[in-house]
Amino acid sequence: MEPSACFANANPVFFSSRPSAARKKSVPHGRPNGCALKAVGEPDARLDGARGAVSRREWLRIVTGSVAAASSSAWLVSRPGRAAAINGMVQFPITHALSNRYFGLRAGEALDDVKGVVATNPVEKTSIKVHGLTGQGVRQVEAVARQLKDVGLGEDGTDVWIWASQSIKCMESGDILAYQLQLNQRSLVPEFYALDARGLGAYEGQKWASVRDEIRAKDRLSEANRPPPGEDGTPNESLQDVLVRVQQLISKTETQYQGANVVFISPDSYNLAVLESLLQNRDVREQDALEWAPGEWRELVPVVVDPAPSPTLPL
């Protein structure tokens, strides 16, 4: 079915990711408060001709403030459950409850899924002729929206954020989901890299059914194994490459939000299966056991393990 025909029945409202011109704010003199920037080489009146001269009282004030700030930062870093947000990187296995509630959605069925071909070249990820949703894909996402409402997504007043790969089928799925959940425009966040489909190199353009077992066998041997490189620029990524991307992604959302509902929309199964494996403390090499079908959603529930005890130093 042609993509245009698919959306004729769905009637979703599509949001533009571009900021409205009316919302742009001018910043006079290069600063939000309108203060002019000091020109390079302009003398600082506070020094009064004695450049670099600092009184003992001023020196003590600066040193005392710096020590207090450093002590405060160290206390924040040592607080249980806040290490991921402060340090900027979520570590696996999970030893503390995450700050947000997470859901995963593999984009609804698209034209490449119907054809059953490997289509992972990021150059074509915005092509509606390659990755546009089918009518079945639209209906799948509409059903997901109803199911997410049933589990109370966002109904308790908590924020809902939809992070969607820039792949056209993910953005279309995100648009439909946001419309059905009555979310505003800013709730849909395009993700430019971390949620891209795993690049399968020389397998690009081949039938998925004919190469699936070969790829899985190599993945089971090592998460560092890569597909053979192709000649069309398609990346050849290992499971380890995917792991790094999704770890950076969830670290970003853990730092950015507190107590929110976050939905990740991926064009393929790999991103979600690897992330789910990490959250459940499972072997990433066996991520295919958690394979996601087009239009499938799950709540990503982390398994929290006890942190390793600190070594006891001899007295």
User: Which CATH number fits the domain that encloses residue 169?
Assistant: 3.40.50.1240
Query: Confidence band (pLDDT; 50, 70, 90) for 43?
Result: very low
Angle between helix 135-150 and helix 168-180 axes, rounded to 10 deg: 40
Contact 255, 235 (CB under 8 A): no
DSSP string, 202-214: GGTTSBHHHHHHH
| Prediction pTM value | 0.72
The boundaries of the domain holding residue 214 are 101-300
Q: What is the percent of the chain where pLDDT is above 70?
A: 70
Identify whether 61 is part of a domain: no
- HSE at residue 297, side-chain half, CA atoms within 13 A, is 28
pLDDT at position 82 is 42
Query: Confidence band (pLDDT; 50, 70, 90) for 83?
Result: very low
Q: What is the percent of the chain where pLDDT is above 90?
A: 66
Identify whether 64 is part of a domain: no
Identify whether 69 is part of a domain: no
Identify whether 168 is part of a domain: yes
Contact 19, 25 (CB under 8 A): no
Residues 6+ apart with CB under 8 A from 80: 96
Which candidate, 133, 266, 130, 118, places its Cα nearest to that of 199?
118
Q: Return the higher-pLDDT residue of 27 and 101.
A: 101
- Number of domains observed in the structure of the chain: 1
Identify whether 306 is part of a domain: no
Question: Of all residues in the chain, what percent are helix, strand and coil, respectively (each to 5)?
Answer: 45, 10, 45
- Rounded to whole angstroms, how far apart are CA atoms 80 and 104? 26
